[in-house]
Amino acid sequence: MKYIPTIGLEIHCELSTKSKIFCDCPVSFGGEPNTRCCPVCTGMPGTLPVLNKKAVEYTIKAGLALNCQINEFSKLDRKNYFYPDLPKAYQISQFDLPICKDGGLTINTPDGEKFIRIERIHLEEDAGKLLHDGFGKYSLADYNRCGVPLIEIVTKPDLSSSEEAKEFVEKVRLMLLYSGISDCRMEEGSLRADVNVSVRPYGTDELGTRTEMKNINSLKAIARSIDSEIQRQIELLEEGILITQETRRWDDNKGESKSLRSKEDAHDYRYFPEPDIVPITFTKEEIEAIRNSMPELPDKKFQRYTVDFGLNETDASLLLTSVNLSNFFESAADECGNPKSASNFIIVEVLRILNDRKLSPEDIPFSGNVLGRLIKMIENEEVTSANSKKVLSEMFDTGKTPEVIVSEKGYKVINDSSEVEETIREILSKNEKAVEEFIGGKEKTFAFLMGQCSRALAGRGNPKLIKEILQKELDKRKGGI
C-alpha cells in the first residue's frame, strides 16, 4: 500500500534581545551554569515579571517577515506543567491570542512552488537546561536559559516530505536572520524544531495519528528524524498495529527515536491568563512603523540580485545564505560598479579562501568596498587576473589594501607597448624553432609563445597587449618568408 506523510513543524527561535523576557538578566550563550539567573526568571514566589518591550517588537518583526497578521490585542497565559528545567512549574506563554497568526511562506519543491501556511507565532519564555552527562545517576539543572525570550512558529500540517521540511526551516531561518531578531544558531539551540509526523493510506482524507519529536537542532537531523518516523509508522500500519499519539525523543547518533511520554493535549496544561502582566496592545500605526523599520528581506534581495543585477539563481541564493556575505557582496558590487564581476570573484575566489582556511564570512579582515577596489583594478587592467589571486590571498594574510600590495609586489600591469614589444622580440629570437613551426601552420605554438612572453614579463604584461603584439610580430615574420 502507498502512504502519504503529513508533517507539521513547531519552530522555536530564541530572540537576541539584550536582557531576558521578564527581568534584567543578560541573554547569551554558554558560560558557567546558573550565573545568569535571578529570582524572577527562576520564578521564585513573590517575584513579579516585567515584560521586555523589545521581545514583543521582535515577535512582531518575525510575524511580518513570515507574512502573518499581527493581532492588535494579545495576552500572555500560564501554561502549567511540572518539569525540572522549569522551577516555577508553569511557563508564561500565549494560548488563545498569540501576537501573530495566519501567515506562511512559499518554498520550492520538485513539483513547483508550494505555500506552507503558518498558523501562529507566539511569544514565550524558554526553560532551563538539564545536564545529564558525567554526573553518575544524577542530572543537574542549569537555569541560565530560563526566561530567554522565545518565539514558537507553528505551521499547518502542509509539509509532505523531509525535503520540504528542510527547505521550509532553512527559509524561515534566513527570514528571521535578516530581520535581525535572532542569530538562529541551530548548533547552539537558538533555533530548534519539534516535528509532528503522521501517515495515512493513499486515497484517504482523514489524517493518521501523529507523533511528535522535540527539540531537533540541525537541518540534517530534522530530515533524518522525519524519514525515520515515516518509515516506522508505515511498518506498524502494515503489521496492523495502531499508532499511539506520543512524544518521542530523536537520537541523532543512533538514527532512531524512542517513546518519551504520551502526548499531552492543551487541556492537560490548564492554561489561564497570566495575572501579573497586562495584555499587549498595538495600534495599526505602531505595527506599520515596525514594518517600515525592517531591513530588506532575503526574498526581496533575491529578486534584486537576479532581476536588477542579472545574477543566476544559484549564485544569488549562495550569496544570501549569510547576512554578512550578502552585505559584503553588495558593498563590493557598489564600489566596482559591476555586480556580476563582484559576484563571480566572491563566489570563486573569496569563498575558496574561506573554505580553505575554515573561516566564515564575518571573519573576512577587509570590507566589501576594499574588495570592490581590487575588482576594479582587474577590470581596468591594472592587475592581471592571475596576480589578483595573489593580492587577495595577501589581503587575507596582512589586511593590507590592494593598492599597497600591488605597488609593494610590483604587480602593476605593464601597459607600455614598447617594453612589451622588446620582450616579445627577445622571446621570438630565443625560440626560432617554435616560430618556424607556427609559420609552418602549427597554430598551437601561439599559446606556447604567449606563455613564454607572459612569464618573461613576470605575469605583469597586459594579456591583450601581449596577444596583439605577438600576433603582429609573427605576421611580420610570416610575410618575411
Strand-pair partners of 115: 106
Between 50 and 386, CB nearer to Zn ion: 50
Least Å distance, CB 69 to Zn ion, is 32
Least Å distance, CB 326 to Zn ion, is 35
Least Å distance, CB 147 to Zn ion, is 5
> Which span sits near Zn ion by CB under 5 A: 22-30, 133-141, 264-272, 313-321?
22-30
Closest CA relative to residue 38, chosen from 125, 190, 150, 144: 144
Between 20 and 210, CB nearer to Zn ion: 20
Between 44 and 404, CB nearer to Zn ion: 44
> Which span sits near Zn ion by CB under 5 A: 24-32, 157-165, 178-186, 309-317?
24-32
Least Å distance, CB 20 to Zn ion, is 5
Number of residues located near Zn ion, criterion CB under 5 A: 5
> Which span sits near Zn ion by CB under 5 A: 37-45, 51-59, 195-203, 234-242?
37-45
The answer to whether 38 contacts Zn ion (rule: CB under 5 A) is yes
Between 25 and 405, CB nearer to Zn ion: 25
The answer to whether 140 contacts Zn ion (rule: CB under 5 A) is no
The answer to whether 23 contacts Zn ion (rule: CB under 5 A) is yes
Grid look-up 612589451 returns: 420
Instruction: Phi first, then psi: give them for residue 186, nearest 5 degrees.
Output: -65, -35
The answer to whether 25 contacts Zn ion (rule: CB under 5 A) is yes
Least Å distance, CB 125 to Zn ion, is 10
Between 38 and 414, CB nearer to Zn ion: 38
Q: Are 41 and 207 in contact (CB under 8 A)?
A: no
The answer to whether 223 contacts Zn ion (rule: CB under 5 A) is no
Grid look-up 594579456 returns: 463
Copy the grid coordinates of residue 20: 531576558
The answer to whether 370 contacts Zn ion (rule: CB under 5 A) is no
Q: Can you state the angle between helices 162-179 and 219-238, rounded to 10 degrees?
A: 150
Taking the mean position of all CA atoms in its chain, how far away is CA 292?
Answer: 23
Between 145 and 210, CB nearer to Zn ion: 145
Least Å distance, CB 209 to Zn ion, is 40
The answer to whether 87 contacts Zn ion (rule: CB under 5 A) is no
> How does 60-90 read in b/e, with b if 16+ C-beta sit within 10 Å?
bbbbbbbbbebbeebbbbbbeeeeeebbbeb
Element housing 354 (H / E): helix 351-356
> Which span sits near Zn ion by CB under 5 A: 15-23, 196-204, 285-293, 316-324?
15-23
Q: Are 97 and 103 in contact (CB under 8 A)?
A: no
The answer to whether 427 contacts Zn ion (rule: CB under 5 A) is no
Q: Pairing state of beta strands 246-251 and 211-216? A: parallel
The answer to whether 47 contacts Zn ion (rule: CB under 5 A) is no
The answer to whether 41 contacts Zn ion (rule: CB under 5 A) is yes
> Which span sits near Zn ion by CB under 5 A: 30-38, 72-80, 375-383, 452-460?
30-38
State the CB neighbour count (10 A cutoff) for residue 448: 14
C-alpha span between 442 and 437 (Å, rounded): 5
> How distant, in Å, are the alpha carbons of 1, 4, 161, 193, 220 from that of 226?
19, 13, 8, 12, 10
> How does 6-24 read in b/e, with b if 16+ C-beta sit within 10 Å?
bbbbbbbbbbbbebbbbbe
Least Å distance, CB 37 to Zn ion, is 5
Count how many Cα atoms sit within 13 Å of the Cα of residue 404 in the half-sphere of its side chain: 7
Least Å distance, CB 46 to Zn ion, is 14
Q: Are 411 and 381 in contact (CB under 8 A)?
A: no
Element housing 355 (H / E): helix 351-356
Least Å distance, CB 52 to Zn ion, is 11
Between 149 and 157, CB nearer to Zn ion: 149
C-alpha span between 202 and 1 (Å, rounded): 8
Between 126 and 229, CB nearer to Zn ion: 126
The answer to whether 70 contacts Zn ion (rule: CB under 5 A) is no
> Which span sits near Zn ion by CB under 5 A: 10-18, 23-31, 99-107, 206-214?
23-31
Enumerate binding residues for Zn ion (CB under 5 A): 23, 25, 38, 40-41
